[in-house]
Amino acid sequence: MIRVKVPATSANMGPGFDTLGIAFNLYNIFEFSEEDEGVLFSGFKKEFSNENNIVYKTMMICFNKYNYKPKGLSIRLVEENIPISRGLGSSSTCIVAGLLGADYIMGNILSTEELFKIGVEIEGHPDNIAPAFFGGMVVSVMEEDDVIYNEIKVKEGIKFVAIIPEFELSTSLARGVLPKEVNFKDAIYNVSRVSLMISAFSNGRYDLLKYACKDALHENYRSPLIKNYNLVYNKCISLGALSCFLSGAGPTIMAIIKKDDNEIIKNIKVFLENEHINWDVKELSLDKLGAKSYKGDTNER
């Protein structure tokens, strides 16, 4: 039996559409073992306790790729701390965990790099998968069939606040509203902002994030799908957030604040309560380790 712990992730970070992602200290934990027969799901909601489960489908892709036929499987969701369809990488945790679980059952025959490549093939883009596997802030690009990635060192001095709506937003819907083409001006706008963002994180110039996290490729198209988006976004900025961005495809809004700012989170909660906006607020910090697996209950591999 093996346990797998996978962090939440936030993709895009404003201008880094489909290329930037970051991992946080919020986790889903799964447990896997090979059984004598059948497939047992436990810990999942009823609608996910079947062979359409993303974890199961991922495992079967991996098994089929390497011609492994398990006798039976036990797939258990031990802890679910990452809400579904909120832009925090819930589906990526399922893919990464499924791959690590499948590899364990096959006898640990694959490297992390090989598993990562399969994960990107399943997900279709690497922005969540890369930080989920490797932790930290990661930039990744597709070069034909290869995935090229590199960690961005983040200087101390900040923390993150996830403002999470009570409603879901499907990734397919959020992608469906995007334009087929973008104009040259918008492309230059994002290239300049994402370059500034990487330098700001690397050098600790967090005063620049108010410019660097702006986007012209996806947020303006997706934000109308999210009730109260502009109200919450603008309030976070007025309360002193260094910057805000739409987490992944949304609907979660991610705010970046100074590490020693202990008031803004309380003020955001008071504002939401006064406006009768039933959104959750979570303080998050960077996860630097990525997905980890444990044999039994305690021994980390």
> Residues at the annotated binding site for ATP?
83-93
Angle at 246 between CA 240 and CA 252, to 5 degrees: 90
Long-range contacts of 269-276 (CB under 8 A, 24+ apart): 271/235, 271/239, 272/163, 272/232, 275/228, 275/231
- DSSP letters, 101-152, are HHHHHHTS-S-HHHHHHHHHHHHSSSTTHHHHHH-SEEEEEEETTEEEEEEE
The answer to whether residues 137 and 14 touch, using CB atoms and an 8 Å cutoff, is no
Structure tokens at 169: 């937003």
Structure tokens at 217: 């490729």
Distance CA 181, CA 34 (A): 47
- The DSSP H or E segment spanning 201 is helix 184-203
As a whole number of Å, the end-to-end CA separation of the chain is 12
Binding residues, as ranges, are 83-93
The answer to whether residues 117 and 103 touch, using CB atoms and an 8 Å cutoff, is no
The upper half-sphere exposure of residue 273, i.e. CA atoms within 13 Å in the direction of its Cβ, equals: 7
The residue with tokens 């200087």 is 155
The answer to whether residues 54 and 98 touch, using CB atoms and an 8 Å cutoff, is yes
The answer to whether residues 51 and 57 touch, using CB atoms and an 8 Å cutoff, is yes
Distance CA 13, CA 7 (A): 16
* Dihedral angle, C-alpha 105, 301, 9, 241, nearest 10 °: 170
